[in-house]
Amino acid sequence: MTRAIEAQTEQEDLDFDLSGRSEPTDVLEPGTRPDAEAMHVSLRRTNRGGEDCAEVYAHGEARLNDEAEKTQQSVLLARVTERALTMFPLVSASYRPAFLTPKYDELTTITVLGDEVFPWHLPEDIDDFDGMLDDLPTGFGRHAKYGLGFRWEYRLIPDAILEIEGVTELVIEPGDGASVELPKFKLGLDRFAAIKRSIDSITNRARAQSLRDRRLLAFNELLHEADPQKFERRFAKVKPGEIYELVKLGGRSQNRSENDTLAAAAVVCEDAAKVAANQPAELFKLKSVIEHVTLKQLILKIEEMLTKNLPEPKWQAFFKANPFVLSLAFAHPVFLVQEQAYVGGTMLKGAGESIVDFLFAQHFTGSLAVIEIKRPSTPLIESKTFRGDLHAPHKDLTSAMAQALDQRYQLMANFLAKSHDPSLKNTHAAAVHCVVVAGRTPATVEQKRSFDLFRHSSKDVTVLTFDELLEKLREILRLMSSTGALAAQPLGVAEAADDQEL
């Protein structure tokens, strides 16, 4: 297909009316035949209230006022005076049950005002009346036999007005206003024209997009399927500004699916370098929001897990997925070397292998550290005092500390044999640090004092409770919020609400 033929085909497709019709457009619904929608109409000149006018009537057999049988009816369709053209739009298709009833339900009247400069003239017959309709703003029907009112594509205008209870008349007047004075809705001609142009623009964009999508479908399902090597699959292009428009809509209506969210994240990842170069401040805002949301979710997850009696493997899996939490046990930057690390100790029969829950290393010096994870329910001190108000350390705690010390010994003794492991590159075992994460913070002052007396007496093993790790995370979150690191409100994060939840 040549470019000229392509262009002609595209233009024909865009010009083709959605209903599949050419003329007359008027107020017909898509897919209907003009002759099926037409009704018999007549005009007569009369005088009402001392003012000359012309009235148009529609005729036909219809059931009015819930009558069981159809009867011949004559229903007022329009009235013209020099001051106004008043239409009473009717359903014009005789095959419809609603034939000769108001087309727009409670909105029974549409009045277009004339003025001193351009008064309405009184038509002599139906042809003269139809000719007069050409003076109506674009968007109205041009033939009385099709029931008057708006063209089909602008039916959303009365649909919107009908959401106001009590409105029965639409008045089209000069200006750009839009107001309600029950039972009237007043609409300025300029605003009506602007609404119509916008509807036309949206319709044309939709038709153009529909044509592109159909062509894409035909290509992929035919040529690509027949010869994938020669005809690579084609994908729709996103025009500049389209994502921006979607985000603006999304700010008012949070109705995005999980796939929408993943797609948005993928777009940001792909364009991260461009954003960093052109809008570094926005990238920093995004980073702050992500860090804050991630940290908040991390806190909520730990709080939820602490309400359950989870076994050690569950906590080990959590810390494996979130090693940042364990890094808070150190005063210096660290990184995770290995979880469930084998550090030695195998006996001749193959038993007794020493396994560290987590092996960390100091970021700058490479000094190794072992972390042993116990359950939050692990008792830290004896429940009974043995002298005054002093509580002795619980055997479960001392056992965990001894286990960590043994792992350190095994690591140091076997490090040379394991140092060829790539994960241990640039690390050393000269001063291995030991950490035990176990239990919850004791309840009473006496219990806390006893716990601190014991754990701080150990220079080789640091003991941290789950509560202390959790509070470290909360403190970081508070610090991020108070220092303004989350000045990213344009991105739509309601941080004040988040803080209240915490």
pLDDT of residue 499: 41
Determine the pLDDT at residue 16: 41
Q: What's residue 238's pLDDT?
A: 65
User: Residue 448: how many CB atoms within 10 A of its CB?
Assistant: 15
Judge if the upstream peptide bond of residue 183 is cis by omega within 30 degrees of 0.
Answer: yes
What are the b/e assignments for 370-386, b being 16+ CB within 10 Å? Answer: bbbbbbbebebbbeeee
What is the rounded distance in angstroms from the CA atom of residue 89 to the CA atom of residue 72?
A: 19
Are the C-beta atoms of 168 and 107 separated by less than 8 Å? yes
Residue ranges of the chain with pLDDT lower than 50?
A: 1-24, 249-253, 348, 350, 485-502
- What distance in Å separates the CA atoms of residue 385 and residue 381, rounded to the nearest whole number? 9
Its pTM stands at 0.49
Distance, in Å, from the CA atom of 168 to the CA atom of 107, rounded to the nearest integer, reads: 4
pLDDT value at residue 393: 94
Q: Is the peptide bond before 24 cis (omega within 30 degrees of 0)?
A: yes
DSSP string, 353-387: -EEEEEEEEETTT-EEEEEEE--TT---EEEEEEE
Residue 443 DSSP label = S
At what angle are helices 312-321 and 280-306 packed, to 10 degrees? Answer: 180
pLDDT of residue 451: 94
HEC readout, 261-289:
HHHHHHHHHHCHHHHHHHCHHHHHHHHHH
> Residue 501 is inside which H or E element, if any?
helix 495-501
Residues 240-262 pLDDT 10s: 655 555 555 444 445 566 666 66
Strand 428-437: give its sheet, edge to edge.
334-344, 354-362, 367-373, 428-437, 461-464
Q: Which residue has the tokens 């640039």?
A: 426
Q: How far apart are CA 412 and CA 428, in angstroms?
A: 9
CB 293 within 8 A of CB 287: no
What is the bridge-based pairing of β-strands 354-362 and 334-344?
antiparallel
Taking only the tens place, the pLDDT of each residue in 388-400 is 889 999 999 999 9
- DSSP 3-state of 314: helix
Look up tokens 């792909």; give the residue.
270
Q: Give the model's pLDDT for residue 369.
A: 94
189-222 as b/e: b if 16+ CB within 10 A = beebeebbeeeeeeeeeebeeeeeeeeeeeebee
Whole-angstrom distance, CA of residue 409 vs CA of residue 110: 93
Amino acid of residue 217: L
The CA-CA-CA angle for residues 74, 76, 79, to 5°, reads 145
Task: Give the residue extent of every domain in the chain.
Answer: 11-197, 271-308+467-502, 310-464
